[in-house]
Chain A
Amino acid sequence: MKTKQLRTFVRYLLYGANLLPALVLLERFLSNNLGPNPIEEVLLFSGFWAMVLLLITLSISPLVKLFSQGWLMPTRKWFGLGAFFYALLHLCFYIVLDQELNLDWILEDVIDRWFIFLGSAAFLLLLPLALTSNKMAMQKMGAKLWQKLHLLIYPGTFLALLHFYFKKAAKNDDKEPLIYLAIFIGLMLWRFIKKGRAK
C-alpha cells in the first residue's frame, strides 16, 4: 500500500513536470529576461521542449519494459500531451509573433522554406493524437484503430527532429539535432529488435 501511494505521488510529480518549462518561460517573460531577440528566444525554447518531451514520451515504454516498472506507463500519455502543448505554443508563437498573423507570409514560408514545411507536417501528424488522447475517443474508435492512429507519433517525431535539423543545418552546425536524431534512432531500433524477438 505504501509503495502504491509513493508511486502515485511520483506519477503526479512527473505529470506536473511537464509544466516546469512553461513556468520558466513565464518567469523569464515577466522579468524581461528573454534576451535581445525575445521572439526568436521563445520560438527556440518552445520548440526545444516539444522535441525533448516527444523523445521522453518515446522512452517510456522501453524504460517500463527494461526495468519492469509498469506503474510508469500512464506518464507516457501526459508527456505526449506535454510535447503537444509545447508544439502548439511553438506554432502560436510562429504565427502570431513571428509572422504577425499574415497569411500570405505564412503560405510563402511553408512553400519556400523546406524546414517550415517539415514542421507544419509534424504538427499535423501530432494533432489527431492529442485530440484522441481521452478515454472517450479511445472507446469510440476501438482499441485497434486507436492504437494504429497513435503510431503517428513515430513519423511525427521524426519530422519534428528533421525540422530542427534543417533549421540548424543552415547554420552549418548540426551537432545538436544529430544527437536528438541519434536518440530517436536508438529508441526505434530497440522497438524493432524487440519485435523481431517476439516473433
Chain B
Amino acid sequence: MENIVIHKADTRGSVDMGWLKSRQTFSFSGYYNPERIQFGALRVLNDDVVAGGRGFGNHPHDNMEIISIPLKGGLVHMDSMGNSSIIHPGEIQVMSAGTGIYHTEYNQNDESTAEFLQIWVFPNKRNVTPRYDQQQITLAGKNVFTQILSPNGDDEGVWIYQNAWFHMGEFDGGNQTVYDLKDKTNGVYVFVIKGDITVNGQALNNRDGMGIINTQSLNITADSDAQILLMEVPSTFNG
C-alpha cells in the first residue's frame, strides 16, 4: 500500500544568516528535527537564497552526491579539482564528493540575490574518486518531464553514484501527466518549485514536498501553471 509523507513549505527548517536565507526540508546544520532526517537516500533538500556577491567560502565535503539546481541568478563554483565555472537556471551541477573535495560557491551578481536548490543524495559507494560535472537542462517541451539525472553516465542528464533518477517539468494549469517509476522498489520525492499541483490525490502548493513509497506511478495534475521536480531515490538507506 502506498505510503506518503507531506512537508508543507512553511513547516521546513528556516535559517536566516543575513547573506543566506535557507528553507530546509530535512535536518541540516543547526536545524534538527528527528522527524525530518531523510527520505530514503535523499538526505538534503535546501531551498537557498544567497545575497548579492556573497556565498559559501572554501569548505570540504566527502562521501555525498551533491546536486545544485539554480533557480535565479548565477552561482560561481570553484573546487580543489581545478574546476571553475558559473551555473545558471537551466543548468544542473553535480559533485561526487567521494574521498574529499573542497569548494567555494558564491553569487555571481553583486546586486541581486541568487536562488538555488541544494540537494544531497547518499552515495551507494563510499570513498570514490571525486568528480564534478555540470550540464544544460534542455526541457523536452511543456507538459512533459525531462530526465536531468540518472545512475548511468550514458543516459540523459548528469549521473550520480546512486540508483536515482531526477526529472523536471513545466506544466500548464489543467494538464495531467503520469510518472512511472524507473525502479519500482524506489520512492519518489515530489517538490513543487512553483505553482499548485495534485499528486495521487494530494494537493500540494508552492515549495511543498511529498514523499511517496510503495507506488508504481504518480498521477499528477497541474492545478495552476507549475514547475515540478521529481526525485526518485532508493526508499531506504541506513548508511
Q: Do A and B bind each other?
A: no
